[in-house]
Structure 1
Amino acid sequence: MPFFVTKYGGSALWALMIYFIVSSLRPCWTPYRSAAASGLIAGTAELFKLYHIPELDMFRQSLLGALLLGRVFSVTDFIAYAFGIMLGVSGDRKFRLASFLRL
């Protein structure tokens, strides 16, 4: 796969996962409130990459650390996060509308 797809697609999927976790833990929240909370979590995780101490850097070198925290700060990841969260909101709204119409 092209680098663009793997780099930013993975970031978008990570943000989408965060959105679905938030919306599953707080089902009474509107999709937009879940999106705001997810954006805050994803943005904080990205900014956390700028914080360096030896123990944290060692953890980031492991597979689990790389998956949970990431390794390298990238401003463009914020765009990928927004795209992934927007996909989640769109799907969530369609799902809620379909559920409402079935009642």
Structure 2
Amino acid sequence: MMRARGLYVLAVLVAILLGIGSREYASVLPQFVAMHFGDALWAAMIYFGMRVLLDRMSVLQTFLLSLGFCFAIECSQLYQAAWINNIRSTLLGGLILGRGFLYADLVRYSAGTIGAYILDRLILIPVAVRAQRS
């Protein structure tokens, strides 16, 4: 179980680095990648983070919970009180809570969560199983 968690922690870190890179190097990336991959990678990070924290939950349950969490965060951006906008105006607050509601973000989060789920089923779970056997 610890090896599997380690893989998910690594996946979280990779998603974070790629997400930051997609923002930092947006000017040299294809426009589609620069516009959409950061949010998709954020959703993937949420999925992998939940796999770390909720390791006994099924993959499908983790997928649904992660997608629901991402959608809830996006919908929370419809609430625009001064106190929460002050939090959102900070770097960390903006990264976690976002700044403004966009329907396109729901599509990006769906793509990121689906991508993470597929990666988990095709690569991470088989690698963890092989590591447990040896």
Answer yes or no: same fold by TM over 0.5.
yes
- Bigger CA drift: 1-10 or 46-55? 1-10
Unaligned runs of 5+ in 2: 1-28
Give unmatched runs, 5+ long, in structure 1: none
Q: Report the 3-state secondary structure (helix = DSSP H, G, I; strand = E; otherwise coil) of the residue aligned with 2:78.
A: coil
Residue in 2 aligned with 1:56? 84
Which residue in 2 is equivalent to 1:8?
36
* Greater RCO, 1 or 2 (C-alpha within 8 Å, sep 6+): 1
Q: Aligned equivalents of 1:50 and 1:4: distance in 2? A: 25
| RMSD across aligned positions (CA) | 1.6
Is 2:119 aligned against 1:91?
yes
Partner of 2:129: 100
Shift of 1:97: 2.5
| Structure 1 counterpart of 2:68, from 40, 43, 55 | 40
Question: Runs ≥4 in structure 1, deviation > 6 angstroms?
Answer: none
Q: Distance in 2 between matches of 1:39 and 1:24?
A: 16
Q: Distance in 1 between matches of 2:34 and 2:82?
A: 28
Query: Structure 2: which amino acid aligns with 1:97?
Result: P
Deviation of 1:62 after TM superposition, in Å, equals 1.7
Q: SS of the counterpart of 1:16?
A: helix
Any residues of structure 2 matched to 1:73-84 within 5 Å, and which?
73-84=101-112
Q: Which residue of 1 aligns with 2:100?
A: 72
User: 1:17 maps to which residue?
Assistant: 45
- Identical-pair percentage: 30
TM-score by length of 2: 0.70
